Structure formats: C-alpha cells, structure tokens
Structure 1
Amino acid sequence: MKHLADLLLLGDPRLYQTCEPVLESELPLVPDWVADLHNVMEEIRAKYQFGRGIAAPQLGIMKRLIYLNVDRPQVIINPELVAVSDETDELWDDCMSFPNLLVRVRRHKKLTLTYRDEHWQTHTWDVTDWRISELIQHEYDHLNGFLCTMRAIDERAFQWRPTPGTNL
C-alpha cells in the first residue's frame, strides 16, 4: 500500500513524462493502483484539507489512470478529451504534488471526455459543472506531463496556501 511519503513532489522528473495507456491485460492491476490512489488522497485530505482527484503518475504509476472522489469514487482509465468549450475561467489551482502552493490558471468551463471504467466499459462524459471540468483538466494534464505551474496565467500567478485558521 502506498502512502503520502510515496507521492512524487514538484521537481521529480517523472511528473513531466507522458504516461502510457492502461492495457486491457493490466486490468487486474487496476484495483491495487486505485487503492493506493485512494489511500494517498485520504492522507492528503487529513493533512492539508483538500483533494478531489489524483492521477496515477503522482505515485510513480506511469499509466493513464485518474481517480476522482467528489461525490463518489470514480475510476477513469485512458481518458481522451474530445472537446472543450471556448468559454474559460480562472481559478487558484492546487496540487497534491506541491500542497502548499496555489497557482492561478485558466481552464475550459465545459468538456467532453471519453474513457474506460474499471470494468473496461467505454463511457462518454459531457461535463458541464465547472468545478468538475477544471478538476478533470488538471488530472488529465498530469497524464501528459503537465503541471499547473506550467499553465500559470503570468509570473505573478503563485501564492502560498493559507494555513487553516489564519487570514493569510
């Protein structure tokens, strides 16, 4: 079982690599990968009070796998962004691989995603909820070796995460 100490941190060269697709023959490995992703996300939530999604490469699993847990756990295998809206918005993005840093980025408000689930079933998801759309884009970027630091809107788009209970 992987733990918080196994999480790759900003600067680790693996975070900048493009991941390989999950093969159907690797499906038996997915439950263990998902358990590791879930465990590390829960540890981040307990320590830093955030975390809605995590991508496999953040644990050194160089596969196209995303685990979301917003309202329910969701496994996204081999996602492909097939469409994004022209309309965008900005937000202060955070990342488990640099939990104390926030980065101002611009993301598409809506998207369409195709992917496979943990049973190898194919899905098409039209995401119209802005908070889910930006989350998927963040995690999808991880699969392609992009971090939100690389999408900063300008050189002033960085700030430290306020410590809980302070006004910083």
Structure 2
Amino acid sequence: MSILRQIAQLGHPVLWSSAAPIEFPLTPDLRVLAEDMLATLREANGVGIAAPQVYEPLAIFIVASRPNPRYPDAPVMEPEIVINPEIVGRSEELVKGWEGCLSIPGIRGFVPRHRWIRTRYRTLEGNEVEREFSEFVARVFQHEDDHLHGIVFLDRLESMRDVVAESEYQKQVVGRG
C-alpha cells in the first residue's frame, strides 16, 4: 500500500543537492519509493515528480503527463518511471512555456526549454530505454531532470518578469477567474 509523501518546499537543502545514482538490482525499498511517488504525484495533480522532492536524494523521477486542474491541456501518457537519466541529445531551439512545481506552490514561470530531447534511462525492471520526447513532455522531463542536479525552474528564468502568482496565471494565461 503506497503512502503519500511530504513534498519538500523551496529552500529545503535537498532541493539544492545532486541526487545519487541508483544501483541495480533495485531494492524493495526503491520500488516502494516509486509507488509512493506516483501516489503523491496523483494526489498533488502534478505531471512529474523527482525523488529529491520527497526528501530522497536519488536519481529517479516520474513523468506522468495527463490533463488535471493544474495542467488542463496536458497530453495523456502512461506514467514513466525514469532511473539514472541522461539527456543525450537536444534541439538547438529553445521554446518558452509555463511551468509550476510541486515544491514551489503558488508560482508559475515562463521557462525556456529544448523543444525536443533524446534520453537514455533505466526502468524499474532494469531495462535500458532510449527515447525521444518533444514539446510538453520534453519540458516535464527536463524539469524533473533538473531536480536531480539541484536546479529548480526559477534558476532557468531569463527575467523575474517571467514569474507570476498562480492566481494571475489562471486569470491571464488560462482565462479562468
């Protein structure tokens, strides 16, 4: 039975530190962590979560794009558990898009990211995967990968004018409110 984990908030040192690579074969505790992260992600209406966000400085995150109240236009995909990721290729083109973070509630930022990325990582079963992601899902992957390196989306902003309160984001960008 998975449990909901507390989410580390901006300012906690775990968000500024690098995550440790994960050894294979996986321990049962790591599988439990992945289940707990997925439950926590769903409860918080997120589209991604990294282990450092639940106080575990390990190189694992989940990308789970789906429409929800925080991201009503997100594409649907099966949750992907990503272990020891590498971004091995990327578009030269950067595209700005709105991001939020479960560790930085109430704030959105207009963040530049690569339009597409080519990745390599391992699954819970230990299989190596090479996969390309584009647009929104590439953005989520890059956001979560940053968490493994002690980077939050605020570090990627070009200007503080690219930050808005969630309430203003809902009014000005989404058109609700």
Question: Fold match, TM over 0.5?
Answer: yes
Give the aligned partner of residue 8 of structure 2: 8
Judge conservation of contact 2:121–2:128 (CA < 8 Å) in 1. yes
Judge conservation of contact 1:27–1:118 (CA < 8 Å) in 2. no
Give the aligned partner of residue 122 of structure 1: 128
1:43 aligns with 2:43: yes
- Give the TM-score, by structure 1 length: 0.89
Give the aligned partner of residue 30 of structure 2: 30
1:132 aligns with 2:115: no
Q: Could you list the per-position Cα deviations for residues 79-101 of structure 1 after superposition, in whole angstroms to 9, with x for gaps in the alignment? A: 00111110110011110001210
Judge conservation of contact 2:82–2:121 (CA < 8 Å) in 1. yes
Q: Single out whichever of 92-101 and 134-143 deviates more from structure 2.
A: 92-101
Distance 1:74 1:27, change over 3 A: farther
CA distance in 2, matches of 1:37, 1:97: 13
Q: Which amino acid aligns with 1:38?
A: L
1:108 aligns with 2:103: no
Give the aligned partner of residue 91 of structure 2: 85
Q: Which amino acid aligns with 1:40?
A: T
Q: Which amino acid aligns with 2:155?
A: M
Give the aligned partner of residue 151 of structure 2: 146
Deviation at 1:25, TM superposition (A): 4.0
Deviation at 1:69, TM superposition (A): 1.8
CA distance in 2, matches of 1:15, 1:2: 21
CA distance in 2, matches of 1:2, 1:15: 21
CA distance in 1, matches of 2:27, 2:166: 37
1:64 aligns with 2:65: no
Give the match's secondary structure for 1:30: helix
Judge conservation of contact 1:105–1:148 (CA < 8 Å) in 2. yes
- Report runs of 4+ in structure 1 exceeding 4 Å deviation: 163-168
The gaps in structure 1 that reach 5 residues or longer are: 46-50
- Give the TM-score, by structure 2 length: 0.84
The gaps in structure 2 that reach 5 residues or longer are: 66-76
